[in-house]
Amino acid sequence: MILDLKDLKTAEKQYYLQHVIAPRPVCFASTVDKEGNINLSPFSFFNLFSTNPPIVIFSPARRVRDNTIKHTLENVMEVPEVVINIVTYEMIHQVSLSSCEYPREVNEFTKAGFTEEPATLVKPPMVKESKVKMECKVIEIKPLGTEGGAGNLVICEVLRMHIDDSLLDDNMKLDQKKIHHIARLGGDWYCKVDESNLFHVTKPNTELGIGFDALPESIRNSKILTGNNLAQLANVHEMPFIDPSFEDDNLKQIIQYYSINPEEMEKELHSYAKKLLGEGKVKEAWQVLLFNS
Ligand SMILES: Cc1cc2nc3c(=O)[nH]c(=O)nc-3n(C[C@H](O)[C@H](O)[C@H](O)COP(=O)(O)O)c2cc1C
| The pLDDT value given to residue 204 | 66
CB distance 183 to 153 below 8 Å: no
Protein residue with least CA distance to atom 19, ligand 1: 99
125 Cβ contact list (under 8 Å, min separation 6): 30, 38, 83, 109, 116, 117, 118, 119
Does a cis peptide bond (omega within 30 degrees of 0) precede residue 53?
Answer: yes
Judge if the beta carbon of residue 41 lies within 6 A of ligand 1.
yes
Residue 53 CA to residue 16 CA, distance in Å, equals 33
30 lines ligand 1 (CB under 6 A): no
Q: Is 166 exposed, middle or buried (0-12, 13-18, 19+ CB in 10 A)?
A: exposed
In the prediction, which pLDDT does 205 show? 67
DSSP state of 118: -
Helices and strands, number each (H, E), in the chain = 10, 12
Ligand 1 mean position to 48 CA, how many Å? 18
Closest CA to 273 of 236, 248, 243, 237: 248
45 close to ligand 1 (CB < 6 Angstrom): yes
**CA-92 nearest atom, ligand 1:** 1
| 87 CA: nearest ligand 1 atom | 1
**Spatial CB neighbours of 179, under 8 Å, sequence gap ≥ 6:** 86, 88, 131, 132, 167, 193
> What is the distance, to the nearest Å, from the Cα of residue 16 to the centroid of all Cα atoms in its chain?
19
Q: Closest Cα to atom 28, ligand 1: which residue?
A: 43
119 vs 124: CA distance, rounded Å: 7
What is the chain's pLDDT, residue by residue, as a tens digit (293 residues)?
A: 999 999 999 999 999 999 999 999 999 999 999 999 999 999 999 999 999 999 999 999 999 999 999 999 999 999 999 999 999 999 999 999 999 999 998 999 999 999 999 999 999 999 999 999 999 999 999 999 999 999 999 999 999 999 999 999 999 999 999 999 999 999 999 999 999 999 988 876 678 999 999 999 999 999 999 999 999 999 999 999 999 999 999 999 999 999 899 999 999 999 999 999 999 999 999 999 998 77
* pTM of the entire predicted model: 0.92
Q: So what's the pLDDT on residue 292?
A: 77
Question: For residue 120, what is the DSSP state?
Answer: S
